Amino acid sequence: MQICVLNGSPRLHGNTAELLKPFVEVLQQSDVTLNNYTLVQMNVASCKGCYHCQDVQGEYGCYQKDDMHTIAKAIMESDLIVLATPIYIWYCTPELKAVLDRFYGLAKFYRSAKGNFVEGKRVAILATHGYDAAYAADPFVIGIQRMCDHYHMRYDGMYSVRDVDDLASFQTKQAISGAKEFAQYLLNKKA
Protein backbone atom coordinates (compact mmCIF):
# COMPACT_ATOMS: atom_id res chain seq x y z
CA MET A 1 0.00 0.00 0.00
CA GLN A 2 1.19 3.52 -0.79
CA ILE A 3 0.05 6.45 1.35
CA CYS A 4 0.44 10.17 0.72
CA VAL A 5 0.12 12.44 3.78
CA LEU A 6 -0.41 16.13 3.04
CA ASN A 7 0.19 18.28 6.12
CA GLY A 8 -1.52 21.60 5.42
CA SER A 9 -0.55 23.34 8.64
CA PRO A 10 1.34 26.63 8.26
CA ARG A 11 3.10 25.86 11.58
CA LEU A 12 5.90 23.29 11.48
CA HIS A 13 5.54 22.36 15.16
CA GLY A 14 1.88 23.14 15.69
CA ASN A 15 -1.14 21.10 16.71
CA THR A 16 -1.53 19.25 13.42
CA ALA A 17 2.13 18.21 13.40
CA GLU A 18 1.72 16.96 16.97
CA LEU A 19 -1.38 14.92 16.08
CA LEU A 20 0.37 13.52 13.01
CA LYS A 21 3.26 12.07 15.08
CA PRO A 22 1.46 9.00 16.49
CA PHE A 23 -0.53 8.59 13.26
CA VAL A 24 2.60 8.49 11.09
CA GLU A 25 4.38 6.30 13.65
CA VAL A 26 1.82 3.54 13.06
CA LEU A 27 2.13 3.92 9.28
CA GLN A 28 5.93 3.72 9.46
CA GLN A 29 5.73 0.49 11.46
CA SER A 30 3.56 -1.07 8.75
CA ASP A 31 4.44 -2.46 5.36
CA VAL A 32 3.58 0.72 3.44
CA THR A 33 5.35 3.23 1.25
CA LEU A 34 4.80 6.62 2.86
CA ASN A 35 5.15 10.01 1.18
CA ASN A 36 4.80 12.66 3.88
CA TYR A 37 4.66 16.28 2.68
CA THR A 38 4.67 19.43 4.80
CA LEU A 39 3.06 21.87 2.40
CA VAL A 40 4.28 25.07 4.06
CA GLN A 41 7.80 24.00 3.07
CA MET A 42 6.80 23.57 -0.55
CA ASN A 43 5.96 25.90 -3.38
CA VAL A 44 2.42 25.27 -4.64
CA ALA A 45 0.75 28.12 -6.49
CA SER A 46 -3.00 28.45 -6.73
CA CYS A 47 -4.87 27.09 -9.75
CA LYS A 48 -5.14 29.65 -12.54
CA GLY A 49 -8.27 28.10 -14.07
CA CYS A 50 -6.69 28.11 -17.54
CA TYR A 51 -7.78 24.54 -18.50
CA HIS A 52 -4.30 23.75 -19.91
CA CYS A 53 -4.17 20.52 -17.87
CA GLN A 54 -7.43 19.40 -19.43
CA ASP A 55 -5.80 19.26 -22.88
CA VAL A 56 -2.73 17.23 -21.81
CA GLN A 57 -3.33 13.51 -22.26
CA GLY A 58 -1.70 10.87 -20.07
CA GLU A 59 -0.05 13.12 -17.48
CA TYR A 60 -0.87 15.69 -14.82
CA GLY A 61 -0.38 18.46 -17.34
CA CYS A 62 -0.31 21.70 -15.35
CA TYR A 63 1.81 24.37 -17.01
CA GLN A 64 2.92 25.81 -13.65
CA LYS A 65 6.35 24.52 -12.73
CA ASP A 66 6.21 24.11 -8.96
CA ASP A 67 6.11 21.41 -6.29
CA MET A 68 2.57 20.36 -7.19
CA HIS A 69 4.07 18.10 -9.85
CA THR A 70 5.90 16.14 -7.12
CA ILE A 71 2.73 15.98 -5.03
CA ALA A 72 0.60 14.97 -8.03
CA LYS A 73 2.99 12.12 -8.84
CA ALA A 74 2.78 10.89 -5.24
CA ILE A 75 -1.02 11.13 -5.29
CA MET A 76 -1.22 9.19 -8.57
CA GLU A 77 0.98 6.45 -7.09
CA SER A 78 -0.89 6.29 -3.77
CA ASP A 79 -3.78 4.16 -2.65
CA LEU A 80 -4.67 6.50 0.22
CA ILE A 81 -4.37 10.28 0.53
CA VAL A 82 -4.49 11.73 4.05
CA LEU A 83 -5.41 15.41 4.33
CA ALA A 84 -4.01 16.72 7.61
CA THR A 85 -5.04 20.25 8.49
CA PRO A 86 -6.06 22.66 11.16
CA ILE A 87 -9.54 23.97 10.50
CA TYR A 88 -9.50 27.74 9.98
CA ILE A 89 -12.87 29.41 9.42
CA TRP A 90 -14.60 26.05 8.84
CA TYR A 91 -12.22 24.86 6.14
CA CYS A 92 -8.64 23.75 5.52
CA THR A 93 -5.67 26.09 5.36
CA PRO A 94 -4.64 27.96 2.19
CA GLU A 95 -1.65 25.60 1.83
CA LEU A 96 -3.90 22.55 1.53
CA LYS A 97 -6.61 24.39 -0.41
CA ALA A 98 -4.08 25.24 -3.14
CA VAL A 99 -3.28 21.53 -3.51
CA LEU A 100 -6.96 20.58 -3.58
CA ASP A 101 -7.68 23.18 -6.26
CA ARG A 102 -4.82 21.79 -8.31
CA PHE A 103 -6.42 18.30 -8.25
CA TYR A 104 -8.07 19.63 -11.42
CA GLY A 105 -5.28 18.21 -13.58
CA LEU A 106 -5.69 14.75 -12.05
CA ALA A 107 -9.05 14.12 -13.76
CA LYS A 108 -9.57 15.00 -17.41
CA PHE A 109 -13.30 15.77 -17.61
CA TYR A 110 -13.54 19.14 -19.36
CA ARG A 111 -11.58 19.37 -22.62
CA SER A 112 -9.84 17.16 -25.19
CA ALA A 113 -7.84 14.94 -22.79
CA LYS A 114 -9.57 12.00 -21.10
CA GLY A 115 -8.73 9.92 -18.03
CA ASN A 116 -8.86 10.00 -14.25
CA PHE A 117 -5.66 9.48 -12.27
CA VAL A 118 -7.44 9.44 -8.88
CA GLU A 119 -10.43 7.19 -9.55
CA GLY A 120 -10.79 4.60 -6.79
CA LYS A 121 -8.26 6.24 -4.49
CA ARG A 122 -9.12 6.63 -0.82
CA VAL A 123 -9.14 9.92 1.08
CA ALA A 124 -9.09 10.47 4.84
CA ILE A 125 -8.89 13.58 7.02
CA LEU A 126 -6.83 14.21 10.16
CA ALA A 127 -7.90 17.55 11.62
CA THR A 128 -7.34 19.88 14.53
CA HIS A 129 -9.83 22.60 15.44
CA GLY A 130 -11.41 24.80 18.04
CA TYR A 131 -15.15 24.28 18.61
CA ASP A 132 -16.60 20.77 18.58
CA ALA A 133 -15.91 18.57 15.57
CA ALA A 134 -19.33 18.76 13.94
CA TYR A 135 -19.52 22.53 14.13
CA ALA A 136 -15.88 23.18 13.24
CA ALA A 137 -15.14 20.60 10.55
CA ASP A 138 -18.43 19.66 8.86
CA PRO A 139 -18.09 22.19 6.02
CA PHE A 140 -14.63 20.81 5.17
CA VAL A 141 -15.83 17.21 5.43
CA ILE A 142 -18.76 17.96 3.12
CA GLY A 143 -16.42 19.61 0.62
CA ILE A 144 -14.08 16.60 0.62
CA GLN A 145 -16.98 14.16 0.31
CA ARG A 146 -18.22 16.08 -2.73
CA MET A 147 -14.72 16.14 -4.19
CA CYS A 148 -14.49 12.37 -3.70
CA ASP A 149 -17.88 11.83 -5.34
CA HIS A 150 -16.93 14.03 -8.30
CA TYR A 151 -13.52 12.42 -8.83
CA HIS A 152 -14.82 8.88 -8.13
CA MET A 153 -12.66 8.55 -5.01
CA ARG A 154 -13.66 6.98 -1.70
CA TYR A 155 -13.96 9.00 1.50
CA ASP A 156 -12.70 6.89 4.45
CA GLY A 157 -13.51 9.23 7.34
CA MET A 158 -11.96 11.74 9.69
CA TYR A 159 -10.18 11.73 13.01
CA SER A 160 -10.01 15.08 14.75
CA VAL A 161 -9.10 16.58 18.08
CA ARG A 162 -10.36 19.82 19.55
CA ASP A 163 -7.85 22.36 20.82
CA VAL A 164 -8.79 23.19 24.40
CA ASP A 165 -5.29 23.53 25.87
CA ASP A 166 -2.94 24.38 23.01
CA LEU A 167 -0.35 21.71 22.21
CA ALA A 168 -1.25 19.75 25.37
CA SER A 169 -4.63 18.84 23.78
CA PHE A 170 -2.80 16.75 21.21
CA GLN A 171 -0.44 15.07 23.69
CA THR A 172 -3.11 13.38 25.80
CA LYS A 173 -3.38 9.60 25.92
CA GLN A 174 -6.80 9.88 24.29
CA ALA A 175 -5.55 12.03 21.38
CA ILE A 176 -2.51 9.80 20.80
CA SER A 177 -4.43 6.53 20.98
CA GLY A 178 -7.16 7.94 18.72
CA ALA A 179 -4.61 8.95 16.07
CA LYS A 180 -2.98 5.51 16.25
CA GLU A 181 -6.34 3.74 16.04
CA PHE A 182 -7.38 5.84 13.04
CA ALA A 183 -4.11 4.96 11.26
CA GLN A 184 -4.68 1.27 12.00
CA TYR A 185 -8.30 1.52 10.83
CA LEU A 186 -7.12 2.99 7.51
CA LEU A 187 -4.46 0.28 7.12
CA ASN A 188 -7.00 -2.48 7.81
CA LYS A 189 -9.73 -1.07 5.58
CA LYS A 190 -9.98 -2.89 2.29
CA ALA A 191 -9.55 -0.94 -0.94
**132-174 pLDDT, tens digit each:** 999 999 999 999 999 999 999 999 999 999 999 988 899 999 9
Neighbours of 149 (CB within 10 A): 11
Q: Which CATH class is domain 2-188?
A: alpha beta
Report the sign of the C-alpha dihedral through residues 63, 69, 72, 78, in that order: positive
State pLDDT tens for residues 21-45. Answer: 999 999 999 999 999 999 999 999 9
Cα–Cα dist 39/174, whole Å: 27
